[in-house]
Chains A and B, each alone.
Chain A
Amino acid sequence: MKKISAKSQIKRGNTCIPGEDNIHVGDEGRGDHNVETSPPIHLGNVGVKLENEGRVEGPAGLLETVEEVVEAPWEEIAGPDLSQAYVVDLTQQFNRIFVQTSFNSFKEKQQQQSGGSSKMEGAESDDIGTSFLTSEQYMVEGHSVHSQQHEDEEKEELPHVLREQDRFLPIANVARIMKRGIPKTGKIAKDARECVQECVSEFISFVTSEASDRCHQEKRKTINGEDILWAMNALGFENYVEPLKIYLQKFRESTKGDKPLEGSVESSYEVDFGNNMATFTADHVSQSEIVCTYGPGQVTQQFTLG
């Protein structure tokens, strides 16, 4: 009786009810990345609140009850990965942790598709991890806010997304570039966009492997801009070479002035902040582009700095 009333007290209190939508504890359990505060705090709050409401129950009794209430849903929750997200280390480790949740499913998918695709072949888990981290696969579409990553779908959605994002550039970016090639009145069919998206990845691989071969022949390990230009020449894209030289020059000039952002695109992880409400990752994919990923819904925005 007393316990029941305590429970109903909790309900009316409308806070910290595990399993309810608006409760962080419950949310955490259910897979929502709403990493608020840790459960004990909620429990404490509940206890205090109820006391304030003048209930007769002693704190211990209430807490016990609350704990009971709280415990049960947690047991039901099958979101093991998310517990990792609770780690409050919001430094460089953050990305690994945040990413870890999707990494596991990513790895699964990798293994699943390892037969088909030669990508990631031979990569050790570390490489997978590294590549994973350097990828933006928690981005669905390149730039715009994608809200389809709702709590329920998230886990199922992610593996699908990962597979595509592994191999292709964001279709939105591709589409935007495509539009530059046609008059404003023109439109581009979805399948055409996808087709070009695939072509693009092929193109990149093609040119890269050519450049890489050359590097290898010359006993060098790092391919540089010149190698790429040479490869383009060799592969029939010589008309790109001159414009590319100019762009490269511009790029070099523009990167010179960026002291804070200097460095390769590998060192691109920067955790701006992770507060209780959201996880925020700013990924400097280049000196001028930052991809920001907001958890829990994995909202992603890409900012291009002028």
Chain B
Amino acid sequence: MAGTEGEAVVGEELQGVEGDGEEGGRAGLRLPLARVKRIMKADPALQLASQDAVFVIAKATELFVESLVEEAYQYTRKAGRKTVSRRDVDNSVEAIDALAFLDGALDWS
């Protein structure tokens, strides 16, 4: 990423302005790799993870978030609202097979 864009991002970060999620870090990554790694390491079975692996998971997480929200937004729209609520997210989780792992894993209270 060229300096200009980088600066813009940095400026945005510094001001705490949440932009429209433009290209951020390396390959557009917007999540802190160290944190991702930390969550990965919480699994006692995990011994070592290559940098690639951490990156791929981080990036996959971004895609995951985006898709999840897109789905949730469908429910938001259906209800005629503009604000995505937790209920919308819940509905998405129930509706999508691949998200079955989230069932019961979340604190529904």
Chain A interface (Cβ within 8 Å of chain B)?
118-123, 131, 134-136, 142-145, 165-170, 172-182, 184-189, 191-192, 194-196, 198-209, 211-213, 216, 221-225, 227-229, 232, 235-237, 240, 243-244, 247-248, 250-252, 254-255, 264-266, 268, 283, 285-289, 291, 301-306
- Closest A residue, CB atoms, query B61: A200
Q: Which of B63, B90, B102 contacts A244 (CB 8 A)?
A: B63
> Is there an interface contact between A189 and B48, defined as CB atoms closer than 8 Å?
no
Q: How far is the CA of A285 from the CA of B26 in the complex (A)?
A: 11
**CB <8 Å contact, B83 and A188:** yes
Bound: A184/B1 CA distance, A: 25
CB distance A180 to B34 under 8 Å? no
Q: Check A265–B98 contact: CB distance below 8 A.
A: no
Inter-chain contact B3/A306, CB cutoff 8 Å: yes
A-B pair number, CB within 8 angstroms = 296
A283 to B46, CA, bound (A): 23
List chain B residues, Cβ under 8 A from A285.
Answer: 32-35
Closest to A174 in B: B65
Name B82's contact: one of A185, A191, A200, A287 (CB within 8 Å).
A185
Q: Is the CB of B28 within 8 A of A189?
A: no
Q: Are B34 and A135 in contact (CB under 8 A)?
A: yes
Q: Which of B34, B44, B46 contacts A265 (CB 8 A)?
A: B34
Q: Which residues of chain B are within 8 angstroms of A143 by Cβ–Cβ distance?
A: 13, 16
Chain A residues closer than 8 Å to B21, beta-carbon distance: 176-177, 179-180
Task: Assess the A202–B1 pair: CB atoms within 8 A.
Answer: no
Q: Which residues of B contact A204 (CB under 8 A)?
A: 36, 39-40, 57, 61
Indicate if the CB atoms of B102 and A121 lie closer than 8 Å. no
Q: Are B106 and A195 within 8 A (Cβ)?
A: yes
Of all A-B residue pairs in the complex, the 4 with the closest CB atoms, nearest first, are A306-B6, A306-B1, A236-B98, A288-B25
Residue contact A119 to B42, C-beta cutoff 8 Å: yes
A-side contacts of B84, CB under 8 Å: 178, 182, 186-189, 192
Question: Taking CB as reference atom, which chain A residue is nearest B55?
Answer: A251
User: Chain A contacts of B79 at CB under 8 A?
Assistant: none
Complex: chain A residue closest to B25, CB-CB: A288
Q: Are A173 and B106 in contact (CB under 8 A)?
A: no
Residues in B with CB closer than 8 Å to A168 are: 39
A102 to chain B minimum Cβ distance, whole angstroms, is 15
CA distance A9 to B48 in the complex (A): 62
CB distance from B26 to the nearest CB of A (A): 4
Output the least CB separation between A156 and chain B (Å): 23
Q: Which of A142, A174, A188 is the most central at the interface, judged by chain B CB atoms within 10 Å of its CB?
A: A188
* C-alpha gap A167/B46 in the complex (Å): 16
| 29 A-B residue pairings within 8 Å (CB atoms) | A122-B44, A134-B37, A134-B38, A134-B41, A144-B16, A172-B18, A179-B20, A180-B20, A181-B66, A181-B69, A186-B83, A186-B84, A195-B90, A198-B107, A202-B106, A204-B39, A209-B45, A213-B45, A222-B47, A223-B46, A244-B60, A248-B52, A251-B52, A286-B32, A286-B55, A289-B24, A291-B32, A305-B6, A306-B5
Instruction: Fill in one digit per residue for B74-109: 1 if any A CB lies within 8 Å of its CB, else 0.
Output: 001000001111101110010001100110011100
Tell whether, in the assembled complex, residue B29 and residue A286 are in contact, meaning their CB atoms are under 8 Å apart.
yes
A264 to B2 alpha-carbon distance, docked (Å): 23
Nearest CB in chain B: distance from A268 CB, A: 6
Contact among A169, A202, A224 with B105 in the assembled complex (CB-CB below 8 Å): A202
* Best-buried of A131, A223, A227, A268 by chain B (most CB within 10 Å): A223
